[in-house]
Amino acid sequence: MNIALIAHDEKKQEMVRFSTAYKHVLQKHSIYATGTTGLLITEETNLPIHRFQSGPLGGDQQIGAMVANDEMDMVIFFRDPMTAQPHEPDITALMRLCDVYLIPLATNLAAGEILIRALERGDFQWREVVKQNKKDKEMNI
Protein backbone atom coordinates (compact mmCIF):
# COMPACT_ATOMS: atom_id res chain seq x y z
CA MET A 1 0.00 0.00 0.00
CA ASN A 2 1.10 3.57 -0.66
CA ILE A 3 0.97 5.74 2.44
CA ALA A 4 1.58 9.50 2.62
CA LEU A 5 2.96 11.04 5.81
CA ILE A 6 2.67 14.81 6.19
CA ALA A 7 3.08 17.05 9.23
CA HIS A 8 2.98 20.76 9.86
CA ASP A 9 6.03 22.22 11.59
CA GLU A 10 4.58 22.01 15.11
CA LYS A 11 3.59 18.36 14.51
CA LYS A 12 6.75 17.02 12.88
CA GLN A 13 8.21 15.50 16.05
CA GLU A 14 4.85 13.89 16.77
CA MET A 15 4.97 12.32 13.30
CA VAL A 16 8.52 11.11 13.92
CA ARG A 17 7.44 9.46 17.18
CA PHE A 18 4.40 7.95 15.43
CA SER A 19 6.58 6.58 12.62
CA THR A 20 9.05 5.16 15.12
CA ALA A 21 6.29 3.46 17.11
CA TYR A 22 4.74 1.95 13.98
CA LYS A 23 7.90 1.30 12.00
CA HIS A 24 7.09 -2.43 12.05
CA VAL A 25 3.89 -1.68 10.11
CA LEU A 26 5.20 1.10 7.86
CA GLN A 27 8.22 -0.88 6.66
CA LYS A 28 5.88 -3.31 4.87
CA HIS A 29 4.51 -0.53 2.66
CA SER A 30 5.65 2.24 0.30
CA ILE A 31 5.97 5.49 2.20
CA TYR A 32 5.75 8.96 0.68
CA ALA A 33 6.21 12.21 2.54
CA THR A 34 6.63 15.91 2.09
CA GLY A 35 10.23 17.15 2.23
CA THR A 36 11.29 17.92 5.77
CA THR A 37 8.86 15.47 7.35
CA GLY A 38 10.26 12.67 5.21
CA LEU A 39 13.83 13.61 6.04
CA LEU A 40 13.17 13.65 9.79
CA ILE A 41 11.40 10.29 9.67
CA THR A 42 14.18 8.70 7.61
CA GLU A 43 16.87 10.03 9.95
CA GLU A 44 15.11 8.56 12.97
CA THR A 45 13.79 5.27 11.55
CA ASN A 46 15.89 4.47 8.46
CA LEU A 47 12.64 3.77 6.61
CA PRO A 48 12.94 4.25 2.85
CA ILE A 49 10.73 7.21 1.98
CA HIS A 50 9.98 8.84 -1.34
CA ARG A 51 10.26 12.54 -0.53
CA PHE A 52 8.33 15.21 -2.37
CA GLN A 53 8.78 18.98 -2.11
CA SER A 54 7.93 20.59 1.21
CA GLY A 55 4.22 21.34 1.61
CA PRO A 56 4.39 25.07 0.86
CA LEU A 57 6.49 24.38 -2.24
CA GLY A 58 4.02 21.91 -3.73
CA GLY A 59 4.48 18.67 -1.81
CA ASP A 60 0.82 18.59 -0.78
CA GLN A 61 -0.14 18.97 -4.43
CA GLN A 62 2.23 16.21 -5.51
CA ILE A 63 0.57 13.85 -3.05
CA GLY A 64 -2.81 15.13 -4.23
CA ALA A 65 -1.90 14.16 -7.77
CA MET A 66 -1.21 10.61 -6.59
CA VAL A 67 -4.59 10.57 -4.84
CA ALA A 68 -6.33 11.77 -8.02
CA ASN A 69 -4.56 9.05 -10.05
CA ASP A 70 -5.58 6.36 -7.53
CA GLU A 71 -1.94 5.80 -6.63
CA MET A 72 -2.24 6.66 -2.91
CA ASP A 73 -4.02 4.38 -0.46
CA MET A 74 -3.87 6.34 2.78
CA VAL A 75 -2.89 9.83 3.95
CA ILE A 76 -1.78 10.57 7.50
CA PHE A 77 -1.50 14.33 7.86
CA PHE A 78 -0.79 15.70 11.33
CA ARG A 79 -2.18 19.21 11.00
CA ASP A 80 -1.56 22.10 13.36
CA PRO A 81 -5.02 23.60 13.91
CA MET A 82 -3.62 26.45 16.01
CA THR A 83 -1.35 28.03 13.39
CA ALA A 84 -2.44 29.65 10.13
CA GLN A 85 -0.75 28.02 7.14
CA PRO A 86 0.21 30.13 4.11
CA HIS A 87 -0.62 27.20 1.80
CA GLU A 88 -4.02 26.44 3.35
CA PRO A 89 -5.72 26.22 -0.10
CA ASP A 90 -3.35 23.37 -1.01
CA ILE A 91 -4.16 21.57 2.23
CA THR A 92 -7.88 21.98 1.66
CA ALA A 93 -7.51 20.71 -1.91
CA LEU A 94 -5.66 17.59 -0.71
CA MET A 95 -8.33 16.87 1.88
CA ARG A 96 -11.04 17.36 -0.72
CA LEU A 97 -9.33 14.93 -3.10
CA CYS A 98 -9.17 12.32 -0.34
CA ASP A 99 -12.93 12.72 0.11
CA VAL A 100 -13.65 12.58 -3.62
CA TYR A 101 -11.54 9.47 -4.21
CA LEU A 102 -12.42 7.73 -0.93
CA ILE A 103 -8.86 7.74 0.40
CA PRO A 104 -8.65 7.30 4.18
CA LEU A 105 -7.31 10.50 5.76
CA ALA A 106 -6.18 11.01 9.35
CA THR A 107 -5.49 14.57 10.44
CA ASN A 108 -4.36 13.91 14.00
CA LEU A 109 -2.54 11.32 16.12
CA ALA A 110 -5.70 9.58 17.36
CA ALA A 111 -7.08 9.03 13.85
CA GLY A 112 -3.61 8.06 12.61
CA GLU A 113 -3.40 5.31 15.21
CA ILE A 114 -6.81 3.98 14.18
CA LEU A 115 -5.74 3.85 10.52
CA ILE A 116 -2.35 2.28 11.19
CA ARG A 117 -3.84 -0.40 13.45
CA ALA A 118 -6.48 -1.16 10.81
CA LEU A 119 -3.69 -1.42 8.24
CA GLU A 120 -1.82 -3.80 10.54
CA ARG A 121 -4.94 -6.02 10.82
CA GLY A 122 -5.38 -6.12 7.04
CA ASP A 123 -8.53 -3.98 7.00
CA PHE A 124 -7.39 -2.11 3.89
CA GLN A 125 -7.41 -5.06 1.51
CA TRP A 126 -10.49 -3.46 -0.05
CA ARG A 127 -8.14 -0.96 -1.68
CA GLU A 128 -6.51 -3.81 -3.62
CA VAL A 129 -9.94 -5.01 -4.75
CA VAL A 130 -10.85 -1.50 -5.93
CA LYS A 131 -7.60 -1.22 -7.88
CA GLN A 132 -8.06 -4.64 -9.48
CA ASN A 133 -11.65 -3.86 -10.46
CA LYS A 134 -10.48 -0.62 -12.06
CA LYS A 135 -7.79 -2.47 -14.04
CA ASP A 136 -10.32 -5.07 -15.14
CA LYS A 137 -12.68 -2.34 -16.38
CA GLU A 138 -9.89 -0.65 -18.31
CA MET A 139 -9.03 -3.96 -19.97
CA ASN A 140 -12.74 -4.73 -20.63
CA ILE A 141 -12.61 -7.97 -18.65
The set of catalytic residues is: 60
In this structure, which amino acid lies at residue 139? M
Percentages of the chain per state (helix, strand, coil), in multiples of 5: 55, 15, 30
DSSP letter at 107 equals: -
Beta-carbon count within 10 A of 54 CB: 18
Phi first, then psi, for residue 121 (nearest 5°) are -80, -10
